[in-house]
Structure 1
Amino acid sequence: MKKIQFYLALTLFVIATSCTNSQNFKSVEVSEFKSSIEKTNDAQILDVRTPGEFAGGHINNAINIDWNGNDFDSQISQLNKEKTVFVYCLSGGRSKKAASHLKELGFKNIIELNGGYLAWSKANPSTDSTWTGMTLENYNQLLTSEKTVVIDFYAEWCAPCKKMAPYLDKLSNELADKVIIHRIDADKNKSLFNKLGYTGLPVVLVFKKGKLTFQKNQYISEDELRKAL
């Protein structure tokens, strides 16, 4: 009986793996993403971030079609389904959804950048030729306070960030005499975000007398943050 169950499980695994491979979609690290682009003539590079994010810096020769825009499908129809499409966003969330959708639309070969533009910028510093947004010096000044300082790196498109925003505003008012909460838009302060080495959102940091006492690079509940304070 156990052997039958084993072979059944093995068969299902092989079928699942075969289906995955037939989908012609894979997520790769920066080095493979870059080398694949360099080996492809007239590579179709798709940036699915917002126009504002795209304007702040992007991979050379990329075209911008906002995944959350109203006309994504109509714009994407301009691409050649028979040729490889290289897809990326800021950190990987939107590009994975977009890549799956492209597969449904019939695109033959899709390569998605794991870690997104944040990972690309970190591996290719020359991408950001000039510093934009808050300086590192100004950021460090935010941390010097007798009060507990909370830093929240967020973005307008980030769903977990939006979920956290109401209770962060509430805590900012409720604990104003003890705590300072600074919400920093990662898109508008990309140079700082990259310099600090973060690769995803949200990022929540707690500093007490200038020393980091808590850090989390994902959604955090109100109760968890209260405990950290």
Structure 2
Amino acid sequence: MKRIRIIPFFMTLLLLSGCAAQTAENTYRQIDSEEAAALMEEKNNYIILDVRTEEEYSEGHIPNAINIPNESIGTEEIPELPDKDQLILVYCRSGNRSKQASRKLADLGYTNIVEFGGIIDWTGETQSDSQSVPQTINSAGAEVSSEEALVIALNNADVPEADAYNIKNERDSDNGIPIHDIEFETDYGDYDFEVSVDGGRIVGADYEVDEEYLNILGGSAVSLEEAKKLIADKVPGSDAENVQIWEENEDGRGRFEGELYFENMKYEFEIDPATGRIFDWNADLRG
């Protein structure tokens, strides 16, 4: 009888060890940008992978980074990444797409993936290409096409193009200003943008991310001061010192709320401190 009991016991051990091995696979490691910079100094044979769009990459990226947009990573083998055991350091703009890409790379069998968030937290050197599509604003007087305006809106909202559907992109005017009136939906929220035809400035925006998606979308925790910098980065030319911000805890999940007045625009926002994600954003042109 004892022998009969021992066999199921060892079978259980084998099954458990198999499950453990399975869960150990398809994973990646997360570090912050400072740790990533130290790793780049320490190691030699590694790849820095920028998973933003080509336009974002052209505007500014970490030196020696290669660009493979998150949207292009699927189930096919990636010729640019032949060595699946090589150290690959992955980043995007704010940390959302880099996590998505890291998960997909791990599922493809890459064993040494390190995700370090977004370039907005990078304090080291960056470089840009001579030709690029701007994230938020073009040179004064340059007319922005509807395609460029959509890129500007998606980048400002930190929404991968693959996530957007039911896109409406029409030419219109607001207070005498020719604009591209852009609307799109995602699984986690609806987005409205008004992008000036002349120069590509965002003169209106309104979106709200469903709070139940915040943990799914992910990100990195931010302090009050870091949240101010997030807003200043989102509004080119503005200063974090001019961002008014405070903490609210009325519904059990803390949040940072605030506003910014800059160049005849009023911006109102809510930020999730746990993920650093701007989940409520409104921008209005005043006067």
Q: TM-score, normalising length from structure 2?
A: 0.45
Match of 1:102 among 102, 105, 110: 105
SS of alignment partner, residue 48 of structure 2: strand
Summarize deviations over 1:101-148 as a string: whole Å, max 9, x none. Answer: 11111111110012x11111xx23x42689x7659xxxxxxxxxxxxx
Equivalences for residues 164-179 of structure 1 within 5 A: 164-166=190-192
Matched, 1:79 2:82: yes
8 Å contact kept, 2:205–2:281:
no
Matched, 1:62 2:65: yes
Shift of 1:69: 2.6
Query: Cα gap change, 1:68/1:58 in structure 2, threshold over 3 Å: closer, same or farther?
Result: same
SS of alignment partner, residue 182 of structure 1: strand
Shift of 1:75: 3.1
Match of 2:204 among 174, 177, 182: 182
Residue type of the partner of 1:118? Answer: I
Query: Cα gap change, 1:62/1:195 in structure 2, threshold over 3 Å: closer, same or farther?
Result: farther
Matched, 1:118 2:120: yes
Q: TM-score, normalising length from structure 1?
A: 0.54
8 Å contact kept, 1:25–1:111:
yes
What is the aligned partner in structure 1 of residue 270 from structure 2? 216
SS of alignment partner, residue 80 of structure 1: coil
8 Å contact kept, 2:73–2:101:
no
Shift of 1:219: 2.9
Distance in 1 (alpha carbons) for counterparts of 2:268 and 2:20: 40
Q: Which runs of 5+ in 1 are unaligned?
A: 1-15, 136-152, 170-179
Query: Cα gap change, 1:28/1:212 in structure 2, threshold over 3 Å: closer, same or farther?
Result: same
Q: How many residues align?
A: 169
Shift of 1:182: 2.6
Shift of 1:38: 1.9
Query: Cα gap change, 1:42/1:118 in structure 2, threshold over 3 Å: closer, same or farther?
Result: same
Equivalences for residues 30-69 of structure 1 within 5 A: 30-69=33-72
Equivalences for residues 115-194 of structure 1 within 5 A: 116-120=118-122, 123-124=123-124, 126-127=125-126, 134=137, 153-155=156-158, 157=160, 159=163, 162-163=184-185, 164-166=190-192, 182-183=204-205, 193=236
- Choose between structure 1 and 2 for higher RCO, CA contacts under 8 A separated by at least 6 residues: 1
Moved more, 58-67 or 156-165: 156-165
More helix by percentage: 1
More strand by percentage: 2
Distance in 1 (alpha carbons) for counterparts of 2:102 and 2:76: 12
Question: What percentage of residue pairs aligned between the two structures are identical?
Answer: 24
Shift of 1:96: 0.5
